[in-house]
A and B are shown apart, each in its own frame.
Chain A
Amino acid sequence: MQYLLMIYRNEAEFAATPPAELAAMMSEYTEFTKGIIQAGQFKAGDRLKPTSTASTVRVRNGKVTTTDGPFAETREQLGGYYLVEAKNLDEAIGIAARIPGARVGSIEVRPIWAPAT
């Protein structure tokens, strides 16, 4: 099965991370990503720009409205994701627990809807 691992954390806290700590975390992410590529679990993964760059789009009665910011104000914001292949939820949880961001924020694990045939 495929799972989307969504990495949430508090952006304000993240922005205040000292540069040395940030560099260490980035190299941990590189190591982690290499690991899941080698294990054949990696499908995709990216870091997102902060929610200050976000736009929300809605179409109502054929009319497009675009507003500034994310869909909902929450304490933690989506900052990145991995799409992984795992044999079951426990394997996906095991991968999620190794994401460096899990130690400061939280990872939402969502199964991908299998394509209909």
Chain B
Amino acid sequence: MMSSARKVDREVEEIFRREAGRVLATLIRLLGDFDLAEEARQEAFTAAVEQWTAGLPANPRAWLINTGRNKAIDRIRRDIVFRTKIFDRELASAEADAAAFDETDEAVFGDDRLRLIFTCCHPALKQEAQIALTLREVCGLSTQAVARGFLLSEETMAQRLVRAKKKIRDAGIPYETPEPPLLHERLQGVLAVVYGVFTEGYAATTGTRLVDAELCGEAIRLGYLLDELLPNNAAVLGLLALMLLHDARRAARESLTGDVVLLEDQDRTVWDQTEIAEGLRLVDRSLSISGQLSVYAVQAAIAALHVRALRKEDTDWPQIVGLYEVLLRLQPSPVIELNHAVAVSMVDGAARALDLVDSLAARGQVSQYHLLHAARGRFLQQLGRLGEAGHAYRAALSYAALEPERRFLRARIASIEV
């Protein structure tokens, strides 16, 4: 008896975990309000725990949505004291949709989740708010977990979320997937949010951690969700491939003592071969979609050349230089110029690379970027100009915020001065 009750509990728990995102997305559409939808979902889950002990409904998802919607309508009706036009509108909209809801079509739920993603990543919200909302509402992370990921207090994160939801409501940000002319532009914003979550996890810019596996995992799950909702999109596939190929090397990037391990020094046997195989497959798919060359796919192709090399000596640097040049044409940026220079150093030597970095530094946009000074130091060291190399590493150290990177730079300085 006890064990069968536990079995039901486990099943219910599994259903909640699986359906939480879909149920919320659909409730937001039906109710037109984030907070109301969250409360409704909570009430539906509570009711399910009580009522499902007798047996699971035939369609748990539809049950949860219908129950949540009915609870919300009850709540709106109860709140007579606070009755305003807005509540009347919500009630009208909730009741109008009430009859419509017995769909079991997967596509409807997919559409709702996509609507939710586009709303959370709307460009009228600050990007930090887009990222926080996406993690909270789409990924279902607790406010506490989102706050932890960004090293903020729970209170600060809660305020950020409240402000974002208020703006969605007050500014009339729609709960809609944009029409094709806008879709491409808006999708770029969505992908920037997903990649932002990943890079925050992969290379936290402050603090002592080098890698936050939880955020990387959420970003990759979001990538798969987008691929499911917008299939055969070169940019989505490219980003997913890029994240997988980076994530495959996660374990090798950090030593046991938490120090940075450069790509060339990484133990290639600990790279995740399953993720690599999947990443390589996806980058090929992305690049094979004609007329849609995505910057993420080009970056993924670069990462692919790195992971394909069994030994660092086997790395196809000339092709990597070529891909960075493609990337510079698609999306010029100082960071890409810097990476291009590093690749050039492997093909044409440190002197040529130093020229490129010096010309980048002379333009002054990135004079406080620690990796620029670190790369200069490395090229100077390779050319035997140790005094100048030491200066460059010290400049890098003065701008680096992350403790493992700082330790790495101090070690470099020590290696010169010995």
Q: A residues within 8 Å of B by Cβ?
A: 1, 3, 86-94, 111, 114, 116-117
Contact = CB atoms under 8 A, between A and B. Distances in A.
A95 to B, nearest CB: 13
Contacts of B85: 114, 116-117
A111 B124 CA distance: 12
A87 B173 CA distance: 10
B171 A89 contact: yes
Contacts of A90: 173-174, 176, 178, 182
Contact of B172 (A1, A94, A116): A1
A89 B176 contact: no
Contacts, number: 32
B84 A92 contact: no
Nearest to A90: B174
Interface in B173-198: 173-174, 176, 178, 182
A6 B204 CA distance: 39
A111 B172 contact: yes
A1 to B, nearest CB: 5
B84 A89 contact: no
**7 closest pairs, A vs B, by CB?**
A88-B174, A89-B172, A88-B172, A1-B172, A117-B85, A89-B173, A89-B171
B170 interface: yes
B171 A111 contact: yes
Q: Kindly name the residue among A88, A89, A94, A116 whose own CB sees the greatest number of chain B CB atoms within 10 A.
A: A89
B170 A117 contact: no
A3 B171 CA distance: 9
Contacts of B174: 87-91
Contacts of B173: 88-90
Q: State the majority secondary structure of interface residues on B.
A: loop
Given A89-B171, A89-B173, 20 more contacts: A1-B172, A3-B172, A86-B172, A88-B172, A88-B174, A88-B176, A89-B122, A89-B124, A89-B172, A89-B174, A90-B178, A90-B182, A91-B174, A93-B124, A94-B182, A111-B170, A111-B171, A114-B85, A116-B85, A117-B85
A92 B124 CA distance: 12
Interface in B81-115: 84-86
Contacts of A1: 172
A3 to B, nearest CB: 8
21 contacts: A1-B172, A3-B172, A86-B172, A88-B172, A88-B173, A88-B174, A88-B176, A89-B122, A89-B124, A89-B172, A89-B173, A90-B173, A90-B174, A90-B178, A90-B182, A92-B172, A94-B182, A111-B170, A111-B171, A114-B85, A117-B85
Nearest to B174: A88
A82 to B, nearest CB: 16
Contacts of A94: 182
Interface in B134-187: 170-174, 176, 178, 182
Contacts of B176: 88, 90
B74 to A, nearest CB: 23
B111 to A, nearest CB: 16
Interface string B333-361: 00000000000000000000000000000
A91 B174 CA distance: 9
Q: Kindly name the residue among B171, B173, B178, B182 whose own CB sees the greatest number of chain A CB atoms within 10 A.
A: B171
Nearest to A92: B172
Nearest to A94: B182
Nearest to B88: A117
A67 B182 CA distance: 44
Contacts of B124: 89, 93
B182 to A, nearest CB: 7
Contacts of B170: 111
A62 to B, nearest CB: 33
A99 B178 CA distance: 20
A36 to B, nearest CB: 17
Contacts of A86: 172
A86 B172 CA distance: 9
A114 B86 CA distance: 10
A86 B176 CA distance: 15
Nearest to B182: A90
A116 B124 CA distance: 25
Nearest to B124: A89
Contacts of B182: 90, 94
